Amino acid sequence: MKIGLYPGCSLKGSSREYNESVVAIAKAFNIDLVEVQDWNCCGATAAHNLSKELSLALPARILALAEKEGFEELLVPCAACYSRLSVTQHELNEDQNLKNKIIDIIGMDYKGTTKIINVIQFIDKYITDQIEYKMFRPFRHDVACYYGCLMVRPHDILKFDRPEDPQSMDKVMRKIGANPIDWAFKTECCGAGFSVSRTDIVGKLSGKLIEDASDRGAELIIVACPMCHSNLDMRRAEIEKYLKKKNKMPVLYITQAIGLAIGLDEKTLGLQRHFVPVVLKETGDDYKAEKKEVTQPVETEE
């Protein structure tokens, strides 16, 4: 079965390593991910800050494209896109008038039947059970699983995991041999869409959560959202300014961690693209030394 993939803009730009690692592990597990053709931006925070109709029409066009291509499931790895698409589908399903209005605006057929899944649901459904057969080297690290806002809220619409103290990512991490720590900022906001316009706020919010993860002994943070990653990784200078000290804790996408555990190489997973160098403590076996030949993922750029 083919699963639709909506990467979204970040995954094609500043967070391309997320896309690379999603595609890489899908390939490793023989899952047929097909990118939705001619997709547009979901509008992100900007659209729903400025225009309600625009914020519904842009995601509706994406969903309509997915329907046209006949995807039953649409994987949306970016938590922000996942949220915008899910909220749009929910609001249009709740209000027939609004739905008709949006159909008129986008000028396309739209039913609202595509099942939208986030990266954890995708892993849970297609990968978790297979991991043990592909395990190359257990990911023996103390990790802080950071869910952020948009994957768990609003719970009434997304109905994913527990909105307070979620566990789904922790479960996946245990599966690859990691030790997810218990910490207080799992679902606190990192500063989200202020990554360019209010870097001071990003420094403070992200700083607080990096500090808590460090204090509780996490070696790295695991994320599933490009915005969270950008803020925690690329804004490290602002974070260090807020914390008034250096902090070199790496931030990995959940797909990168799985990739490492099944022996994909760092470059395939895009680890070299991170601002904070991914230096992990020795776990008794060296990745580079005994790298196993695993199918090399191909670039998915058009």
Partner 1 sequence: MARIGVFICHCGENIGATVDCAKVAEVIKKVPGVAFSTDYKYMCSDPGQTLIKDAIKEHNLTGVVVAACSPRMHEPTFRKACAEAGLNPYLCEMANLREHCSWVHEKGDVTTQKAIDIVRTLVEKVKRNVALMPIKVPVTKRALVIGGGVAGIQASLDIANAGHQVILVEREPSIGGHMSQLSETFPTLDCSQCILTPRMVEVAQHPNITLYTYAEVEGLDGFIGNFKAKIRRKSKSIDEKTCTGCGLCTTKCPTKKIPSEFEQGLGNRPAIYVPFPQAVPNKPVIDKEHCRYYTQGKCRVCEKVCPTKAIRFDQPDEIMEVEVGAIVICTGFNILRPTFFPEYGYGKYKDVIDGLQFERLASASGPTLGAIRRPSDGKEPKNVVFIACAGSRDPAKGIEYCSKICCMYTAKHTMLYKHKVHDGTAYVFYMDIRAGGKMYEEFVRRAIAEDGAQYIRGRVSTIYEKDGKLIVKGADTLLGAQPVEIEADMVVLATAGISNDGAEELAQRLHVSYDQYKFFAEAHPKLKPVETNTAGIFLAGACQAPKDIPESVAAASGAASKVAGLFSNSELTREPLIAVVNRTAPPLFSTCVGCFMCQTVCPYNAIEREEIKARDGKVIKTVAKINPGLCQGCGTCVALCRSKSIDIQGYTGNQVFAEVMALLEED
Partner 2 sequence: MSSHNNHNESKTLADKILKSTQVSVAKCYQCGKCSAGCPVSSEMDYPPSMVIRMLQTRTPENEEKLLRSKTIWLCLACEMCIQRCPMEIDIPKVMDYLREKSLKENKAHEASKDIIAFHKAFLDSIEKTGRLYEVGLIADYKLRTFNLMQDVAIAPSMYMKGKLAILPDMIKDRKGVAKIFSKTIKKKEE
- The contact set with partner 1 (CB under 8 A) reads 162, 164-165, 184, 212, 215
Residue from the set 39, 71, 110, 183 that interacts with partner 2 by CB under 8 A: 39
Our CB check for partner 2 shows the closer of 129 and 200 to be 200
- Could you give phi then psi for residue 243, rounded to 5 degrees? -75, -15
47 binds, among partner 1, partner 2, none (CB under 5 to 8 A by kind): partner 2
By CB under 8 A, is residue 23 in contact with partner 2?
Answer: no
State how far the Cα of 83 lies from the Cα of 48, in Å rounded to an integer.
12
The token pair at 63 is 């969903």
* Minimum CB–partner distance for residue 184 and partner 1 (Å): 3
184 binds, among partner 2, partner 1, none (CB under 5 to 8 A by kind): partner 1
State how far the Cα of 297 lies from the Cα of 268, in Å rounded to an integer.
7
215 binds, among partner 2, partner 1, none (CB under 5 to 8 A by kind): partner 1
Q: Which stretch binds partner 2 (CB under 8 A): 45-53, 114-122, 128-136, 176-184?
A: 45-53
Our CB check for partner 1 shows the closer of 162 and 267 to be 162
Our CB check for partner 1 shows the closer of 67 and 161 to be 161
By CB under 8 A, is residue 57 in contact with partner 2?
Answer: yes
275 binds, among partner 2, partner 1, none (CB under 5 to 8 A by kind): partner 2
DSSP state, residue 10: G
- What is the DSSP secondary-structure string of 166-208? --HHHHHHHHTT-EEPP-S-TTS---GGGTTT-HHHHHHHHHH
State how far the Cα of 281 lies from the Cα of 289, in Å rounded to an integer.
15
State how far the Cα of 227 lies from the Cα of 193, in Å rounded to an integer.
7
Instruction: Mark 257-278 as b/e (b = at least 16 C-beta within 10 Å).
Output: bbbbbbbbbeebbbbeebebeb
| Per-state percent for the chain, helix, strand, coil, to nearest 5 | 45, 10, 45
- Could you give phi then psi for residue 34, rounded to 5 degrees? -125, 125
Subset of 218-237 contacting partner 2 (CB under 8 A): 234, 237
Subset of 262-281 contacting partner 2 (CB under 8 A): 272-275
Subset of 117-156 contacting partner 2 (CB under 8 A): 149-150, 153-155
Reading across the β-sheet that carries 179-180, which strands appear in turn? 179-180, 142-145, 220-223, 251-253
Our CB check for partner 1 shows the closer of 106 and 213 to be 213
CA 155 to chain centre: 17
212 binds, among partner 1, partner 2, none (CB under 5 to 8 A by kind): partner 1
Binding site for partner 2 (CB under 8 A): 9-10, 12-16, 38-41, 43-55, 57-58, 61, 104-108, 149-150, 153-155, 163-164, 187-189, 191-194, 196-199, 201, 205, 234, 237, 272-275
